[in-house]
Amino acid sequence: MLTDLENLASGQSAALSTATPVVAIVGATGAVGVELLNCLSARNFPLGGLKLLASARSAGRTLTFNGTELLIEELTEDSFDGVDIALFSAGSGISKRFAPIAVKAGAVVIDNSSAFRMEASVPLVVPEVNGEVLHQHRGIVANPNCVAAIATVALAPLHRAHPIRRLNISTYQAASGAGAAAMEELRLSTAAYLAGEAFEPKVLPHPYAFNLFSHNADMDPDSGYNGEELKVIAETRRILHVPALPIGITCIRVPLLRAHAMAISIEFDQPVSPQEARSLLEAAPGLRLVDDRAANHFPMPSEASGADDVLVGRIRTDIGDPSGRTLAIFVAGDQLLKGAALNAVQIAERLLENVVRKS
């Protein structure tokens, strides 16, 4: 698959060449697509033009951007003529088919699906963590899994100071990770539950209101881990540049509309005090420290929802490790923002910074 893409990229410059790019959003009507629009607007992204692309059933509808109604066009092989940056958020099948077409047309693709995340020739980027690898792209940049993106923002400043030897993660993942339809199912099932009415789940495999269950990704029968857990393991290792990092993880779907939370136990190569960790996290970009022991106030999805920063707190020595090398932290981040749309737009901003530096 990537051989053809590499051949395409080798025949042209994969670098962005304008500081006011024409941007296309593939999957513009989805939950992440809508947030991509919001992020471009909120961050005053210097657009030279904007194209909204979706399936045939959405073509002809409009979405509002900065007070202007923009027509949604059907995604076709001719959609990328004149496009400089293509933000993909329409699933791995669409990305595998159309990303090489976009690259051939001259666009840089920032892909939010899992299609290219583990391809060696495609950088997997969280700008605050490993933005230096962005220059390696050959036309496609991969946006990480939402848990990996949010977690590594908190892990990276600690790892730079003291190498991490092992991670153990438990996640509490909101409906937004399964898309707009899952968010609506949570709303409807909650209303039915409170009204004492029966509700048959259609999007997720189990009743969602006032319930939680193992993440709905396909289960690997041999290892007992599901696809979400295996993605987080592989992508966290790649983002942190530690290919063999031992990671244990359990991913749970919880009845929240948006913003994922996670409890992380971090074993370092030497003892690290909570005070030092707190200072490192407080100074790191993309993080907001929420660590008030007196008020029992720590990161919450309700406060992370709609926020650009990842919230981090509950920083303490893990007393399960008598060596003192292990800390426990709690993290919350908006899955639709830092876990998806915001990270993609930040990647695009880094690409523009490179254009400005070269001009």
Residues designated as active site: 146, 260
| Distance, CA of 330 to chain centre | 18
Identify how many contiguous H helices and E strands the chain contains and give both numbers. Answer: 10, 14
Task: Single out the residue of 158, 122, 132, 119 nearest to residue 274, CA to CA.
Answer: 158
Backbone angles phi, psi at 352, to 5 degrees: -70, -40
Pairing of strands 108-111, 85-88: parallel
Cα 172 to Cα 298: distance, rounded to the nearest angstrom: 15
Amino acid at 69: E
Angle, in degrees to the nearest 10, between helices 31-42 and 342-358: 40
Stated as kind and residue range, the H or E segment containing 264 is strand 260-268
The residues, any chain, with a CB within 8 Å of residue 313's CB and separated by 6 or more, are 289, 290, 291, 292, 297, 298, 299, 329, 330
Q: Contacts from 129-137 at CB under 8 Å and sequence distance 24+?
A: 129/153, 129/156, 129/239, 129/240, 130/156, 130/239, 130/240, 130/241, 131/350, 134/347, 134/350, 134/351, 134/354, 135/354, 137/14, 137/108
Cα 288 to Cα 122: distance, rounded to the nearest angstrom: 30
Cα 359 to Cα 137: distance, rounded to the nearest angstrom: 20
DSSP state of 343: H
